[in-house]
Amino acid sequence: MNLSLLSTVWFDYWSSKYYQSLALRNQVLRKPIHLQFSNEQLTPDKNDWHFGVFFQTECLACLIISPLNGLNVAKMRQVAVNEKHQGQGIGKLMVIEAERLLKLRNFNEITLHARENAIPFYLTLGYTLVGDWFTEVGIPHKKMIKHL
């Protein structure tokens, strides 16, 4: 896919773009580990920033940014790329653009919890592994950070 045809956008909680991103997150992140979102798990979404990559009206990739109170640090979570479009640079485009926009908002660090299979992706983007393995949603994760 030609990346110049894609748009990267912030979008509102409970907008049509949010519903598309929620379906993508469920398909890519939850279904493979036999989980579904509960209303309680979605509650933090209303206070977070939602970002995605769209081709026309189709959500190809999304992520959520949670600003951490007063620290100029943001937590990136729920990063998902449509399985048909993985490996095409769309996820990289999305993360780099989100980082750029966060830097403009005076954030100086991003933290995230990476699944084992996602660690190589984040390493190529300059993220660093921190600490020991831990379990989240029933699978191993590692904390990663990047200074902007």
pLDDT digits (tens, 9 = 90+) for 54-64: 999 999 999 99
Task: Give domain status of residue 136, yes or no.
Answer: no
Any domain includes 95: yes
Domain that holds residue 48: 3-112
Q: For residue 35, is it within any domain?
A: yes
pLDDT for position 39: 83
Q: Which residues does residue 72 pair with via DSSP β-bridges, in sequence order?
A: none
- Model confidence pLDDT, tens digit, residues 34-57: 888 888 888 889 999 999 999 999
CATH number at residue 83: 3.40.630.30
- Kindly state whether residue 67 falls inside one of the protein's structural domains: yes
User: What's the average pLDDT block by block, 10 residues per block, for the chain (148 residues)?
Assistant: 86 94 96 88 91 95 92 95 95 96 95 97 98 95 97
Residue labelled with tokens 């579904």 = 36
Domains identified in the chain, total number: 1
Query: 7 in a domain, yes or no?
Result: yes
User: Is pTM beyond 0.85 here?
Assistant: yes
Distance of alpha carbon 66 from its chain centroid, rounded?
10
